[in-house]
Chains A and B, each alone.
Chain A
Amino acid sequence: QITLKESGPTLVKPTQTLTLTCTFSGFSLSTSGMGVGWIRQPPGKALEWLALICWDDNKRYSPSLKSRLTITKDTSKNQVVLTMTNMDPVDTATYYCAQSRGVYSQSLNWFDPWGQGTLVTVSS
């Protein structure tokens, strides 16, 4: 059974850096074809893809947020970490991590399953 769980602060101040950790089980990010992505959803709004990291360390970012995002993996701990700098109230959202799978790391594009999500509020 594959599970993922997000962890991190529930409240951050504007201009601070957010660090979120996705801890997963049931697969290894050292296995060919595996990836983990981050997606967020502001309250009452649509999903927004943020970043994805693959087994071969290929990393892809949302073009609109690329300058603020960094995604890394720790294969030994089965964890993926997302950092987002210069947080703003508009970044208030539920942040999800999810598994991605495919043949080519450059084209991984769907997510299943998802973690339960963690609500991050940006406020002073």
Chain B
Amino acid sequence: QSVLTQPASVSGSPGQSITIPCTGTSSDVGAYDFVSWYQQHPGKAPKLMIYDVRHRPSGVSDRFSGSKSGNTASLTISGLRAEDEADYYCSSYTSSTSVVFGGGTKLTVL
């Protein structure tokens, strides 16, 4: 059982926006601005999309954005494209100096 809670699946049509929530506790997501998001296509290694809640690495589209409120972080993808269909994982630093991941969300582009 993953420490961070994500919906198993979300879906959207091309051009739409979707948001994936990631719920933790006051000992991880709520305690630090150290939430990151990863995209994983089938059979591929994960790719960092967002770090430190809202920062995008160089080369990541600005259609991807991150935010946080209390113990819940969110990843928003705007202008949905077919290539965005993938699994998405959140992760957070914790008060015990460890790193925890969410259970993952499968994004389907209809």
Per a CB cutoff under 8 Å, which of A48, A106, A107, A112 touches B101? A48
Q: Are A49 and B45 in contact (CB under 8 A)?
A: no
How far is A61 from B32 in the complex, measured between Cα atoms in Å? 19
| CB neighbours of A39 from chain B (8 A) | 46, 101
A52 at the interface (CB under 8 A from B): yes
Q: Name A19-57 residues within 8 Å CB distance of B.
A: 37, 39, 46-49, 52
How far is A11 from B103 in the complex, measured between Cα atoms in Å? 26
Per a CB cutoff under 8 Å, which of A52, A106, A109, A115 touches B45? A115
Q: Are B98 and A110 in contact (CB under 8 A)?
A: no
Binds A, one of B13-21, B47-55, B75-83: B47-55
Q: Which of A60, A110, A113, A114 has the most CB of B within 10 A?
A: A110
Q: How many residues of A are in contact with the other chain, CB < 8 A?
A: 23
| Given A111-B48, A114-B46, A117-B45: A47 and B38 interface contact (C-beta under 8 Å) | yes
| Given A47-B89, A49-B101: A110 and B48 interface contact (C-beta under 8 Å) | yes
Least CB distance from B55 to A in Å reads 9
| Given A47-B46, A48-B101, A49-B101: A110 and B91 interface contact (C-beta under 8 Å) | yes
A16 at the interface (CB under 8 A from B): no
Residue on A nearest B99 in the bound complex, by CB: A49
Assuming A46-B101, A111-B38, A117-B45, what are 19 further A-B pairs, CB within 8 angstroms?
A37-B99, A46-B103, A49-B91, A52-B99, A60-B97, A61-B98, A96-B46, A107-B32, A107-B93, A109-B92, A109-B93, A109-B99, A110-B34, A110-B36, A110-B51, A110-B52, A111-B36, A113-B48, A114-B45
